[in-house]
Structure 1
Amino acid sequence: MKIEEILGKGWRHFNLSLDNKILTVQIDTKGFKNNDFNAEVIDELKELGVLLHRNIDINVVLLCGRSDVFSAGSDAKAFDLRFSAPTLLERRRDVMPGADMVEAWSKIEAITIAAIDGRCRGAASVLSVACDFRIMGEGVEFFFPEVPNRMILGWGAIPRLVALAGPSRTKQMVLFGEFLNAATCEKWGLADEIAPAGEALTVARRWAEKITSLPPLAVRMTKEAVDAYSTALHGMAAIADRSRYLLAGHVRAGLME
């Protein structure tokens, strides 16, 4: 699908704009104060990721929220709803879309950059670590609240975090579920540059302009090679990841001890 067709699809939960082969995707979940993710948002983001997979009309995808909040992710009620179906097979189906959405974004051939200001929580943090780069504004609150809330971090986040931050720091951020500020994120390998508060998108755009000035075929082939080496075991991990996620949901929902 041509980029003009993608731009004209009438997306409900984000705004798209194109400039110099840089596609900006602004999460705008109208009606949700903190840009929360629900099932419709996840489905749209997955669809967009699939459509952008091998699109050659773009060189960079910039993912952002608002200047005051990237996204609060999906809340506990949304998590619990995934385990309300009557059969195990249906519940397994219902936990798939989030992981599929993140996987679709990880497979976009163009360079992906997350510009993060304000709060970035849970599902939104997982989506951001599936991007190639992350630019964080000062004042960022980046965290994974799942374990302290009797959930488990899924959607392929753990292998990506281990690749970025290492095993020990991944355990710290996932087990404790505490806010990480921009400086800590940069130190731990989660942020590639820190911007002034509210200016993450401006700085990310400078990165995008630099990337789009490079030979596009060489950029895509380099990304493909680096990802192939660094994510070789991710497919195997994803199967176990989904099983753990399903198991944790059953425990939280009281369906098993």
Structure 2
Amino acid sequence: MIRFDRSDALWTATLDRPEKANSLTLDMLTDLADFATEAKGKAKVFVLTGTGKVFSAGADLDMVRAGLATSDVWERLSGAIADLPCLTIAALNGTLAGGAFGMTLACDLRIAVPDARFFYPVMKLGFLPQPSDPRRLAALVGPSRAKLILMAGQKITAPDALEMGLIDRIVQRDALVDTIGELSADALSATPSHVAGIKALI
């Protein structure tokens, strides 16, 4: 359900459950967190992406009923990504929803296809967002727009997400791989300490 690639210093995790809109199970989240933890000190670029037309619909509905929505595994995953001293990129092949926000908010860069949509319906569903998500979201888009997403439950289009700073670039679907390569090139050609040093300064 997830493909992991460790190609030298470029590490990529690809959500590969398109028949379920790449919804996330406990095992998938645990594997992602382990992969991100393992990448520390080894990867110069860390990429999250998916297959199909949805990046992730968030938690698997069957597992939500079993308590996954409030599990601390989401925070473990986003914390592991945020802690990486390398360039981290979320290459969103489609819509981003719910708890899947956390791992992408923890990335340095977010690119998305033109038809992607963004929503985090915690108000409607009766759950609190994971603790670090509102802070990271507000840092990107500002407090009012964070409330627009988290409290007013608005679905944000890719152009609006770009305008408000939620994503950094809109990329045609057939250009995602090339864009990842373009964004990764400088970091991959640098030493790990140089990559980490610039990230620490920012």
TM-score, normalization by structure 1: 0.71
1:151-178: CA deviations, max 9, x gaps? 2211410110111111111111111222
1:46 aligns with 2:33: yes
Distance (whole Å) between structure 2 residues aligned to residue 108 and residue 28 of structure 1: 23
1:232-251 paired onto structure 2 within 5 Å: none
Distance in 1 of aligned mates of 2:52 and 2:183: 18
Moved more, 197-206 or 45-54: 197-206
Q: Give the alignment of 1:32-181 within 5 angstroms.
A: 33-55=20-42, 58-82=43-67, 95-181=71-157
Deviations 1:165-196 (A, max 9, x none): 11111111111222211111111111111101
Between the aligned partners of 1:69 and 1:33, the Cα distance in structure 2 is 9
Give the structure 1 partner of residue 3 of structure 2: 15
Percent identity among equivalent residues? 24
SS in 1 for 2:130: coil
2:15 maps to 27
**Greater share of residues in strand:** 2
**Closer/same/farther in 2, CA of residues 22 and 98 from structure 1, 3 Å limit:** same
Kept in 2, the 8 Å contact 1:118–1:141? The answer is: yes
Q: Distance in 1 between matches of 2:97 and 2:110?
A: 14
**Alignment: residue pair count:** 201
Higher deviation after alignment, 43-52 or 13-22: 13-22
Determine if contact 1:67/1:198 at 8 Å carries over to the other structure: no
Alignment correspondent of 2:161 = 185
Partner AA of 1:24 in structure 2: T
- 1:230 is aligned to none
3-state DSSP of counterpart to 1:200: helix
Cα RMSD after superposing both structures = 2.1
User: Which is higher, the Rg of structure 1 or of structure 2?
Assistant: 1
Q: Which amino acid aligns with 2:134?
A: I
Return the letter of the residue paired with 2:29. I
Secondary structure in structure 2 of the residue aligned to 1:23:
strand
Cα deviation, 1:3-49, whole Å, max 9, x if unaligned, reads xxxxxxxxxx321234462222211248x521110111111111111
